[in-house]
Amino acid sequence: MCAMLCVMFSRQPAPASPDSDKTACAKADAATAKQMDELRVIKKQRYKLSEAVDLKPWMQKVKKQAAVTRVGADKALKACRTDEQIGPRGRQAAISRLKKRLRELDETDEQMTMMRAFEKDPKPRIDPSVLRVLEQ
């Protein structure tokens, strides 16, 4: 029994096929992942802004990057759905990742819509009465 368990745990995972990274779906998935990382970096720059005049260019930058990423994710999703070089599980995993990225882009669009309220003052002071209501 111990020998059987030792053999099971000592097995190395099967190496990935050399063509798995060369499929259109894998390339598109990697490209959208890189674009999403760039978008996250741009969004984190929001915390460094202190002036209202800096907010509008930042919002335009985020919207532009989100639009570029959305186009890439849509193309990647279409490519993954039609890619026959990968198996069904790999295809489903890639499609799932791409749909998650599209949902994240939807959230970004909603955040940018809400950010319009902060265009006058990027770091508004919260009214203490609101905090008291939230505490109760």
pLDDT digits (tens, 9 = 90+) for 46-70: 878 777 667 888 889 999 999 999 9
Task: List, in sequence order, the alpha helices (H) in 20-85.
Answer: 24-44, 52-82
Task: Return the DSSP state at 8.
Answer: H
- Residue 15's pLDDT is 40
Tell me how many degrees the CA angle 83-89-94 measures, rounded to the nearest 5: 60
Number of domains, the chain: 1
| Domain extent at residue 110 | 23-119
pLDDT beyond 60 at 2: no
CATH code: domain of residue 37: 1.10.132
Residue at 29 is within a domain: yes
Residue at 124 is within a domain: no
- Residue 126's pLDDT is 63
Residue at 125 is within a domain: no
Task: Return the DSSP state at 50.
Answer: -
- Residue 24's pLDDT is 85
- Residue 13's pLDDT is 41
